């Protein structure tokens, strides 16, 4: 099986890539989904977050208050590092398990979407890495359209590697400025290259 890592900056088209890959019949696991799963009620990570950051990070129902948590960690690099130490090993364990299941099922190709692929040192787990990107102007417009404030935008961007660094390290680039049809065509071309013959 060819295991592909897909990364890119926030608002650059990773979710659209996931949808298009699914439509193309490619199994996809999105680590943003796993990140939500590992902090569900009853999960060990949630208890560790409570112990590290305090009970005021949880609502009356015991669920993580994600917006409150984000405000705290993205304003303080040390707190962000603490949260990542709780979450990243658990997320990694889950996607590696899914990838192993794909191998057992003899899937020809599978894609793992990891926004912080390079930051977490995960690149060596993949036969190839795709970086999804667009211009900084388009990225800002997309995030502001989602209702992000300028402060949120700057804090999130500061927590990730610059996009051009990810582009340089990746094997393939998908440029998401054009239409979804062009986005799909680029993915199809990369898949033709990477699928085992």
Determine phi and psi for 173, rounding to 5 degrees: -120, 130
CB 150 within 8 A of CB 32: no
| pLDDT, one tens digit for every residue, the chain (197 residues) | 999 999 999 999 999 999 999 999 999 999 999 999 999 999 999 999 999 999 999 999 999 999 899 999 998 999 999 999 999 999 999 999 999 999 999 999 999 999 999 999 999 999 999 999 999 999 999 989 988 888 888 888 888 899 999 999 999 999 999 999 999 999 999 999 987 65
CB 121 within 8 A of CB 162: no
Q: Give me the CATH code for the 2-32+91-194 domain, please.
A: 3.40.50.300
- C-alpha Rg value of the chain to the nearest Å: 17
Strand partners, 8: 132
Rounding to the nearest 10 degrees, give the CA dihedral for residues 7, 13, 16, 21.
-40
- Domain-by-domain residue ranges, the chain? 2-32+91-194
Alpha helices in 14-112 (DSSP H): 14-23, 31-37, 44-53, 66-74, 77-104
CA distance linking residue 61 with residue 38, whole number of Å: 17
């Amino acid at each position: 099986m060819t295991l592909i890592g897909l990364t890119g900056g926030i608002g650059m088209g990773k979710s659209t890539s996931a949808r298009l890959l699914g439509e193309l019949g490619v199994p996809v696991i999105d680590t943003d989904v796993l990140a939500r799963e590992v902090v569900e009620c009853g999960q060990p990570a949630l208890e560790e977050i409570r112990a590290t950051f305090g009970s005021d990070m949880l609502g009356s129902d015991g669920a993580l208050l994600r917006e409150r948590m984000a405000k705290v960690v993205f304003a303080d690099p040390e707190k962000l590092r603490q949260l990542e130490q709780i979450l990243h090993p658990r997320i990694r364990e889950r996607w590696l398990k899914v990838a192993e299941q794909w191998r057992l099922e003899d899937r020809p190709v599978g894609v793992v979407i990891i926004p912080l692929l390079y930051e977490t040192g995960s690149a060596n787990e993949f036969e190839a890495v795709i970086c999804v990107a667009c211009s900084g102007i388009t990225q800002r417009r997309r995030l502001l359209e989602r209702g992000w404030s300028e402060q949120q935008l700057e804090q999130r961007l500061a927590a990730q590697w610059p996009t051009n660094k990810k582009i340089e390290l990746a094997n393939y680039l998908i440029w998401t400025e054009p239409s979804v049809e062009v986005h799909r065509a680029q993915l199809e071309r990369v898949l033709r290259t990477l699928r085992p013959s």
